[in-house]
Amino acid sequence: QVFGATTSRMFTDLLNAPTVQQGDNRLTNVLELAREMGVQFVVTGVIRDLGVADPSAWGTSVLDKMQRGIGAVDQRRRFAADLVIFDGFSGAPVYRHRFEAAADWDAGPGSAAGFGSAGFQKTAYGQAVEDVIADMAMAVTDALACQPFMTRIARVDDFSVTLESGATAGLRPGDELKIYRSKRYLESPDDSPELQDSDLSVTLEKVQPHFSRGTMPQLGGIVNIQRDDIAIIW
């Protein structure tokens, strides 16, 4: 299930994104956002270029207009965007690529009311941008297709384990997930947790849209399985 956070700004310094360092020495606030929204991955990016190839081609003189009319000047406009996918449990980037395109900017005065508008999409440049966005969506799908499914454990009660993901994440009764302990060190409490295999699995019995519940073969207290540990389908 995809969640939109279009008002969230991942990078305070867009010029250096996505490698800008925050005040707490973290590269981004992706961990906090992923935890708040309950997602496994955070997809973000930065538009790098929307400029025209030749600014002098857009003069208002009679000569400039004649040159545009006969195609004697470069009327192309560029589009470039960096796409980055972060793992929401570690904050590490799992995919990064720059997408670029250029096409004639042939919009008449007032015909393209805004970026992505109906008039904008009818231009050659708008169609080129739309193709790039489609390529970006396909790249996200391809990049995440080989990633294991991960979710946090919300509660442990004796043999029962409740997960923070359910049917909307594709889970079904009978699914089996490996349990990993989320281990942190006292000298670096803000670092990404280290996952340690517990040699246990949870088999789902009850699946709701946003959570699921199953059982494991041992008592959670004995093997120290607790909230915020991780369940994974490889």
Q: Point out the domain boundary residue: 145, 162, 177.
A: 145
Give the range of the structural domain holding residue 191, as residue numbers without chain letter. 149-233
Q: Point out the domain boundary residue: 113, 129, 145.
A: 145
CA–CA dist 204, 207 (Å, integer): 7
Same domain, 127 and 161: no
Same domain, 105 and 171: no
Residue 29 lies in a domain: yes
DSSP per-residue letters across 134-147: HHHHHHHHHHHHTS
Same domain, 95 and 177: no
Nearest to 77 by CA among 133, 127, 15: 127
Instruction: Quick: pLDDT tens for 48-76.
Output: 999 888 877 766 777 667 766 666 677 88
Same domain, 72 and 53: yes
- CATH at 63: 3.40.50
- CATH at 189: 2.40.10.410
Check residue 95 and give its pLDDT. 92
Residue in the block written with tokens 């040699």: 199
One-letter identity of residue 57: A
Residue 8 lies in a domain: no
Same domain, 101 and 154: no
Same domain, 168 and 133: no
Regions in the chain scoring below 70 on pLDDT: 19-28, 58-59, 63-64, 67-72, 108-111, 185-193
Same domain, 161 and 141: no
| Residue 158 φ/ψ region, left for φ over 0, alpha for ψ in the -120 to 50 degree band, beta for the rest | left
Same domain, 186 and 90: no
Residue 50 lies in a domain: yes
Check residue 190 and give its pLDDT. 59
Q: Which residues of 15-44 are buried (b: 16+ CB within 10 A; e: fewer)?
A: eebbeeeeeeeebbbbbebbeeebbbbbbb
Specify the number of domains making up the chain: 2
Same domain, 156 and 190: yes
**Cis, bond preceding 148 (omega within 30 deg of 0):** no
Token output for 156: 């442990």
Residue 3 lies in a domain: no
Same domain, 171 and 139: no
Same domain, 138 and 154: no
Check residue 143 and give its pLDDT. 93
Check residue 61 and give its pLDDT. 73
Same domain, 23 and 92: yes
